[in-house]
Amino acid sequence: KGYSPFVTELDAALTTRGKSLSAALPNSTRFSNISDEALEAFDFINIMAYDATGPWRPSTSGQHSSYSFAQKGIDFWKNTVGIEGVKLTLGVPFYGYTFTSSTEASSFTYGSMVELNSSNAELDQIGNSYYNGRPTIKNKVNLALNNNVGGIMIWELGQDSFTEFSLLKTIHEEVESRTAEKIGCQ
């Protein structure tokens, strides 16, 4: 009830100081306490296109951050809610979940998966462990670029592999490649 008035008041105070306001919101849920005015106050919205399942729902094992889940999130915020693409950033995970039973699941970092075997960087699943490898992250970067989304948001940088298999490096290289393509076409 008090969320939207707080957001608009905070935005007014931040604007006078030259500061921006952002929010991280669920992939395809707009809570009823977020008014149109509050949405307009955000300079950008981070789409949390991850955690479709996890330890809170261990009986539903599977990919928590699929490409199609990211597509659904962009579509929801752009076309259902009506937020312009430039104000949206697509969230990508640098972690995953292992479903050990129908009552237990736990998280792990992408970096730990690569440390086990560098070839895991090219996969999204090892047994009952689900995450985003480099090909999926690359595809999500292109999804964001093709949908004119303002950028990519990472949860959480410290979970990356600080090697040549880095997801941050993958994101950077894909953006650079696409930028070079655009310049070459002009």
SS3 string, 49-83, reads CCCCCCCCCCCCCCCCCCHHHHHHHHHHHHHHCCC
| pTM for the whole structure | 0.93
Amino acid at 99: F
Which of 134, 125, 124, 142 shows the shortest CA–CA distance to 179?
142
pLDDT in tens, 129-169: 999 999 999 999 999 999 999 999 999 999 999 999 999 99
pLDDT in tens, 2-34: 899 999 999 999 999 999 999 999 999 999 999
